[in-house]
Chain A
Amino acid sequence: MSTNAPTQTDPDTGEELHDVRLHVNGIVHQVRIPGRRLLSDALRHDLGLTGTHVGCEHGVCGACTVLLEGKPVRACLMFAVSAAGQELTTVEGLAAPDGRLGPVQQAFKECHGLQCGFCTPGFLTTITAGLRDNPDPTEDEAREMIGGNLCRCTGYQNIVSAVCRAAEIARLEPEGEQA
């Protein structure tokens, strides 16, 4: 049987609407949306999670990167209806429950990796997943890790430093341990 079949039509436009359960940062949200609703727009407009930024909207800039089942993906290159039932992590989900900054956030603060801040959410999610796969990157590996994200302030040197510093913080403070 087909999943996520349309349940209603929009009374104004006649467009088909789908009832979709989105699992974001450990919370389940129910939304009623058209099939064409981009995941980036569903997060921002339907769920109010405006941490995910929308830059180029065709997959080039990386500002909208979120984690889908732990892997970085472009939220602007997926339809929200396709993400139904899968675990999503946005930048809002990266800090500890008590609000303490995660290692990547802390490193961005220390290294001035955050300049105007527009691209930051995409960098934070990308690097969080990148360091999980490679906890001790060389500088070249750090550059490869962030190769799909653009910073219009061109703050790349500081961001590369932040990747290396985040790896160091994560080693010094294993997850769950208080500083």
Chain B
Amino acid sequence: MKPAPFSYSRPTTLEEALADLAADPDAKVLAGGQSLVPLLSMRLAAPSALVDINAVPGLDHVRADEEGVRVGALARHAAVMADPAARRVQPLVSLALERVAHPTIRNRGTTVGSLVHADASAEMPVVLVLLGGSITAASATGTRTIEAADLYVGPLESTLRHDEIATEAFFPALPDDAGVAFDEIARRHGDYALCGVAAVVRADEAGTITSVRAGYLSVSDLPTVVDLSEAFAAGAVDEASLDAAADLALASLEPAADIHATADYRAHLARVLTKRVVRQAHDDCTARREGDA
């Protein structure tokens, strides 16, 4: 349970960090390390070099404005979760962060690190995809924006290049006509979820539903978002529309069996959680509208 040898650098500028990374195609970036260090200790990964970016200034920001929430590469989950402006501007981010491991891990783990770790059983990647967010990737040759829809390509595989550092994540603000909810089932609170669902429900001023989208974790190889709007074409949330939405969701998911749950059980959880979370997001939408009135 000890990592294989690697060379370690702790640059104090972003330029230097990018140069260190570019110098070794086998190097990995170390930020919070809460996913990376276990992989190294179990020798599931053995990079030849680690570039520790914790001493790079200016990367630990959490900024929220009317456009959305911007989270720097060194912002810890706990800091993002506790930021009142971020919670107001895009409440789904803090709702999901509450289910990321437990407080001690959230003190060290970074939200951007979790996003680029690209684990389909993690909470934050699916939230980024559901909200249509993006990350900013810096390299020695410049910076680019990667839309969430283009970020995830396989299990633990993203389109971030080896010589790039994800410096910031952007979560768009919640529109005025929307409500959100997040729930998951894990064997123990804080464990990886057997299934998790996030939802965004939008409704017009009369309360008629205009769109329903849900994001799924731990039931596919990739963070998966399904548009469930057509199940609510009649405009209301009732048992029939929720059943139709769950059918629609399951048609897009491929639950797999592992030692913790059978595929059937995961499908069952996806069905139950879809109905629960859509209902909660609809309630949230109504409550926000009444709160505004």
Q: Give the interface of A toward B (CB within 8 A).
A: 1-6, 13, 15-16, 18, 34-36, 38, 41, 57-59, 62, 65, 68, 71-74, 76-79, 81-82, 126, 130, 144-145, 147-149
Contacts and interface: CB of A to CB of B under 8 A. Distances in A.
B37 A35 contact: no
Question: Binding site of B, secondary structure by majority: helix, strand, loop or mixed?
Answer: mixed
A127 to B, nearest CB: 11
Nearest to B34: A77
B117 interface: no
A4 B20 CA distance: 14
Contacts of B12: 1-3
Contact of B30 (A13, A62, A82): A82
Max count, chain A CB within 10 A of own CB: residue among B3, B4, B12, B108? B108
15 contacts: A2-B9, A2-B10, A3-B55, A16-B8, A35-B5, A35-B7, A36-B6, A74-B34, A77-B33, A77-B38, A78-B37, A79-B37, A79-B50, A130-B103, A144-B103
B3 to A, nearest CB: 4
Contact of B104 (A18, A58, A65): A65
B5 A59 contact: no
Given A36-B5, A148-B102, 12 more contacts: A2-B12, A16-B7, A18-B8, A35-B5, A36-B40, A57-B41, A59-B38, A59-B105, A71-B107, A74-B34, A82-B52, A148-B105
Given A2-B16, A77-B108, A58 B10 contact: no
Contact of A58 (B20, B38, B108): B38
Closest 7 CB pairs of A and B: A35-B8, A148-B102, A58-B38, A57-B1, A36-B3, A148-B104, A77-B37
B108 A6 contact: no
Given A77-B34, A77-B108, A147-B189, A58 B8 contact: no
B104 A73 contact: yes
B101 interface: yes
Given A3-B55, A38-B41, A144-B103, A58 B1 contact: yes
A59 B34 contact: yes
B108 A73 contact: yes
A73 B102 contact: no
Contacts of A38: 2-3, 37, 41
